Amino acid sequence: MATALNYRHLYYFWVVAKEGGMARAAERLGMAVQTVSAQVRALEQSLGHSLFKPAGRGITLTEAGSAAMAHAEQIFQLGEQLPAAVREAATGQGLRLKVGISDGLPKLVVRHLLQPALAGAPIRLLCHEDEFDRLLADLALHRLDVVLSDRPAPSNPNLRLYSHPLGEATLAWFAPAVLVRATRRPFPGCLEEMPLLLPTGHAAVRHRLDQWFERQGLRPRIAGEFEDSALLAAFGRSGMGAFPVSQWSQEELRQDRGLKAIGETPELVEHFYLISAERRIQHPLVQQLLQAKHSGLAG
């Protein structure tokens, strides 16, 4: 029978690894260096592997130590979240859902994707927008429940992330009415006659847009590139140029009298994914998002 893990020993190891040495860890813990060292040795004996090795005048993690540290990070970060989770459950504040939003994802699409989780009982929604790679790192450390993105997580056995397709949406084009009146060619040729606003390479669809222009024989005159899709649409509405929009983001734009829908491109498709740190989803709100996808509510 395997020896039960002593979490106090694991905690001392975690502090030593975080502080980069026994002396600094002992100072943080308010303990003698010998005591901290003995606790770490006890953990190494129970695991059957050395966790630290000499490095110059200090110590560094062994490969086994790096693996132990990755798990310790998850354990103690979850422990830090425990008081808030218990408090929210006791006070009836509802479930909390921490969502990472990839910076290339259109914001109105995010609202569409999250709607199934918002439609039921009260929840506390925390949204954090950042670059895709940083969000995946936070997800792997369980600082986030899920990440929403326009691309799947890359294959990486160290992160163990799982990508779940949520749906897809085609693109249409809008332009300021004053620019449309000045064009002579039908869509898509008219796109050569007006300035264009496009997403940057942060959005997965940008590469497909560039390929589409090439297939159509169009030479776009790009007036602006934006990481934030809401900002892109705002500049488009101000008259700066024509721009592509997801089908899930069109309703508000169609009500703007200063804009005109000039064409649809069903061959241009944005794909959306929910990325989790576990294959079997446990969080009830995340389960709702995936069930909505399967029942057609998110697509």
Give the CATH number of the domain where residue 32 resides. 1.10.10.10
Residue 121: the pLDDT is 66
**Interior/surface letters 136-167, b for 16+ CB within 10 angstroms, e for the rest:** bebbbebbbbbbbbbbebeeeeebebbbbebb
Residues 143 and 15 in one domain: no
Q: Kindly list the averaged pLDDT for each block of 10 residues, start to end, along the chain of length 299.
A: 76 91 90 92 92 89 92 80 64 75 85 81 85 91 91 83 91 96 95 96 92 96 92 94 90 89 94 86 79 54
HSE on the CB side for 243, CA within 13 Å? 30
Residues 224 and 293 in one domain: yes
Q: What is the CATH number of the domain that holds 250?
A: 3.40.190.290
Residue 146: the pLDDT is 92
CB contact at 8 A, 161 and 275: yes
**Residue 215 in tokens:** 């297939």
Write out the residue range of the structural domain in which residue 123 sits: 94-299
Residues 6 or more apart in contact with residue 19 via CB below 8 angstroms: 25, 28
Residues 184 and 231 in one domain: yes
CB contact at 8 A, 112 and 237: no
Residues 129 and 30 in one domain: no
Distance in angstroms (rounded) separating the CA atoms of residues 75 and 224: 45
Residue 295: the pLDDT is 44
